[in-house]
Amino acid sequence: MKLLAMVLTVMPMLAAAANVPGEAPSWHTLPTEAYPKKRDDLVFVDAHTAFYGTGKGNLYRTDDGGATWRVVWSHPGTFIRSLAFLDAKHGFLGNLGAGLASVTDPIPLYETQDGGLTWQAARVPMLPGICAIDVLRSRSIHEGEVSQRFYIHAAGRANGPAKLLRSENGGETWTLIDLSDRAGMILDVKFLDPNTGFVFAATSGDVAQSSALILKTNDGGRVWREVYRSKRLNEITWKAAFADVHTGYVTLQNNDPQNLQQRVAKTTDGGEHWFEVPLVADAAAQEFGIGFASPDKGWVGTADGGFETADGGNTWTRSPLARSANRIRVQAADGTPLIYAIGTEVQVYR
């Protein structure tokens, strides 16, 4: 397929968004092609190179920190739900999957080796779709030599079924972990080390009958146990963020139109126990993404705009984070500290 030749050249606008010296950091919107709905994922590979996708199957790349973007892949019928890159060349793209949101593409996971110019179906066990991809960099030693190793987990999907892919070698081979007997759907996944991980899920594939659910493993996904379940129906988890190995947060998306109180679940003991903290009493504030730069400083994206906290969720204030921020990250894939978000807009915090 011929690539689209759209390029946004907006260096003056980007420069205008830069902070005045001495000014407190804030969210700044990067210029991107207009899109009628929220966009689901954005990943900076390093301080300069980034990718984001849309539900229409368009993948965009920047090589100048977001000043200009170009379409590098266009695949109508694919819903780009999640992205992950090991480096500027090697990446993965999760498709929501056929049967949801007018998606016709049945391939759940794509892989690129050339910076997103071409994509092939990843050689994975079949599952309906992917909602989240987590990449863990680990260092291992063999015969006295230390090497870097990538553990990749890809999970899905919204409305079910609950299935998880695991690779221990950077995507060369994959194992399918079927959690459909424990959960109705999986919305996010996070591993703290090769053995300790979480799926952020829901008890049923029917949202109306569902409660938010978190499962934890301590053995690389062989055994899972429930560590949190909400007491309300019409509720699912959405996105999670760990500030460190002890402190984590997850948005609780309540879909009851009569519900006013929005909540976030939090752990301070590495995910063994979770408790709820109130976010805002606003029926319009349906929750999406979450990100924490430290155990105390973080943000939540909602359909009614953004919220931020500086005290670990004890209090929240309105934030210039754009509406429906679905993914909030606090570092690039190479570990460079960089806070950015995507939803109705693409934004950086500086």
- Tens digits of pLDDT across the chain (350 residues): 433 333 333 333 333 344 556 688 999 999 999 999 999 999 999 999 999 999 999 999 999 999 999 999 999 999 999 999 999 999 999 999 999 988 999 999 999 999 999 999 999 999 999 999 999 999 877 677 778 899 999 999 999 999 999 999 999 999 999 999 999 999 999 999 999 999 999 999 999 999 999 999 999 999 999 999 999 999 999 999 999 999 999 999 999 999 999 999 999 999 999 999 999 999 999 999 999 999 999 999 999 999 999 999 999 999 999 999 999 999 999 999 999 999 999 999 99
pLDDT given at position 6: 35
Cβ atoms of 184 and 205 within 8 Å: the answer is: yes
Distance CA 158, CA 156 (A): 6
**Three-state DSSP class for 86?**
coil
pLDDT given at position 21: 61
**Where does 268-345 show beta strands of DSSP type E?**
275-281, 287-292, 298-302, 305-309, 317-319, 327-331, 337-342
Q: Are strands 287-292 and 298-302 parallel, antiparallel or unpaired?
A: antiparallel
Dihedral sign, Cα of residue 99, residue 104, residue 107, residue 110: negative
Cβ atoms of 9 and 327 within 8 Å: the answer is: no
Q: Name the residue type at position 8.
A: L
pLDDT given at position 142: 67
pLDDT given at position 20: 55
pLDDT given at position 283: 94
pLDDT given at position 272: 98
pLDDT given at position 99: 93
- What are the phi and psi torsion angles at 208 (to 5°)? -60, -25
Burial class (CB in 10 A: 0-12, 13-18, 19+), 239: buried
pLDDT given at position 2: 35
Task: Find residue 176's DSSP bridge partners.
Answer: 165
